[in-house]
A and B are shown apart, each in its own frame.
Chain A
Amino acid sequence: MSADHPVPPEPQRLPGVGQRLDLVDHDGRPVTVIRQKDGNLEVHHDGTSVDLPANQARALGALASGHFRMAPGLFERVDGVLGGIEFDWVTVPEGAWAAGLSIQDLALRQRTGVTVVAILRGSLPILVTDPTQRIEVGDELVIVTPPEGRPALERYLERGS
């Protein structure tokens, strides 16, 4: 990250079109990225631009994030699942009812429909294969959720209902 930009830039809404992200390259020249609603990506730099179709853009995003490797056609397949599923994360808040309890105690999947696939604790990712793994305040839970599953999970972690 360039020293002039300690905070990573946030995308802005382009009403009716999609989103716009303003970046700078190593030399400080502007790079403008447009993500249209259909997922097509335009990268503008120095008077020229590159257009990527949605599936290519997703592969680029996965590569750039460096976090996970995408199976070919994963997103197309996810879209095909009834109602779609979402990949997301939530932080266990201060004073959460669920702190100190294990995934098993919480019966998370049965109660909220959300599956926890990993826990990020400090700099240490824990791949949750063990249902007796306890969660703690400040943990980031990496989840796979049906649409709108996230609010239910947050409520449950906080208040136990």
Chain B
Amino acid sequence: MGRELIVLGIAFLLSGLLARVGARFGLPTIPLFVAAGILVGPNTPGPVLFENPHDLELLAAFGLIFLLFYLGVEFSVEDLTSGGRKLLWSAGLYLALNLGGGLLLGFAFGWGTKEAFVIAGITGISSSAIVTKVLVELHRLANPETRLILGIIVIEDLFLALYLAALAPVLGEAESMADGALLFLRALAFLLLLAAVANWGAPVVEKIITAKSDELLVVLFIGFAFLVAGVAYELGVSDAIGAFMAGLVIAGTSLASRVERLVRPLRDGFAALFFFAFGLSIDPGDIASVLGPAVIAIVATLLLAVAAAVGAARINRLDRLAAANIAFSVAARGEFALILVTLAASAGLDARLAPFAAIYVLVLAVISPILALRSAAFVRFFPKRLVPDPV
């Protein structure tokens, strides 16, 4: 017990201190938490904090649950509808290009069909955490393109839940086509059931978890989130979707803003551990074997980000600078790629996925904010013919 606490304490401190140094250079936290895990993992020289990354499995799962639960709590249908059709087109274009590109690459790598679908998810969905942070820190919240960027991110978040359900046969242990279909239907039924609860059952859920004191509210909503996540897991749907849907149910109650405020510190703490634990599982020795595919995927993501941003700028009548800002902010990858690859690893998919995702996320999470900061310098790559300057 004592040893475990000491090791956990060091894990948190190391992650936090490394991220603090990074913050001085404008780097987001996620890649540095992962890097801390790689440094003290069993596969790198120097001190080894955790012989077996699986020791952290449960605590890391808390991180995953709180990340997605928070996303659900924060969700508002208004965010989808207020952007109108232009937002849906822009986000649809973004997802189609990046998901489609990832799928093609996945098949080209030849690691398997299931693996190709996981790669599509990794390349398809941006990091809400990093994108939001970049916009705040670059002081771009009032920019004309910012509502569009945040709208795209919200749709991507929602898409993630649907995609996780669609991946149920891939991430579950489906032996046959029939098995796979059954898993998918079960996942879909579960999503629909919870969507119905979110829509009509919110008052009942509110009665169950409401409390005047923050202390009791925290205890009750954690119970609700874990229970739904656990049931989802047992049904083969993944705890991640369960947690997201639990959050979505709470978003429909009058407790939403309090829960959102209270869950944030829990999410921050445990999510750091989730990223750290992912880092532990990475063997830098494996990186050489996936370096080629990872570099190809990174270049493809950046090119597709530019293409999607040109389209989004046209749809929304934004200028070239706005297009460049969209392209490089939304190119950040982080928590969702790592969540997908963690689920893929526990489903026993190709072991190359983890180091692939590690390089992919580490590079994009670091260079996307840097490129976004200097997006004005890249404006000339956005053809004037396609994105006219504003009148």
Contact = CB atoms under 8 A, between A and B. Distances in A.
Interface of A: 12-18, 20, 32, 34, 36, 42, 44, 49, 82-83, 146-148, 151
Given A82-B213, A147-B258, A151-B254, A16 B139 contact: no
Contact of B132 (A16, A32, A49, A148): A16
Given A83-B212, A146-B212, A151-B254, A13 B141 contact: no
16 contacts: A12-B82, A13-B76, A14-B146, A15-B79, A15-B151, A15-B153, A15-B154, A17-B135, A17-B136, A20-B141, A20-B142, A34-B142, A42-B139, A49-B139, A83-B212, A147-B258
B247 to A, nearest CB: 13
Contacts of A13: 76, 78-79, 82
A147 B254 CA distance: 9
Contacts of B139: 42, 49
Interface residues of B, number: 25
A34 B214 CA distance: 28
Given A82-B213, A146-B212, A32 B150 contact: no
Contacts of B254: 148, 151
A17 B213 contact: no
Nearest to B78: A13
Contact of A42 (B74, B82, B141, B151): B141
A127 B45 CA distance: 73
A146 to B, nearest CB: 6
Given A16-B74, A34-B141, A36-B141, 20 more contacts: A12-B147, A13-B76, A15-B79, A15-B150, A16-B128, A17-B150, A20-B142, A20-B147, A32-B142, A34-B142, A42-B139, A42-B142, A49-B139, A82-B212, A83-B212, A83-B213, A146-B212, A147-B212, A148-B210, A148-B254
A53 B234 CA distance: 46
A37 to B, nearest CB: 8
A82 B216 CA distance: 11
A83 B142 contact: no
Contacts of A151: 254
Interface string B225-267: 0000000000000000000000000000011001000000000
Q: Is the interface of A mostly helix, strand, loop or mixed?
A: strand
Contacts of A12: 82, 147
B149 to A, nearest CB: 10
B147 A14 contact: yes
A13 B76 CA distance: 9
B76 A15 contact: yes
Which of A14, A36, A49, A146 gathers most chain B CB within 10 Å?
A: A14
Interface string B77-112: 011001000000000000000000000000000000
Contacts of A32: 142
Q: Which 6 A-B pairs have the closest CB atoms?
A: A44-B142, A32-B142, A15-B79, A34-B141, A16-B132, A15-B154
Contacts of B151: 15
Contacts of B132: 16-17
Contacts of B258: 147
Contacts of A14: 141, 146-147, 150
Contacts of B210: 148
Contacts of A36: 136, 141
Nearest to B154: A15
Contacts of B212: 82-83, 146-148
A103 to B, nearest CB: 23
B206 to A, nearest CB: 9
A42 B135 CA distance: 13
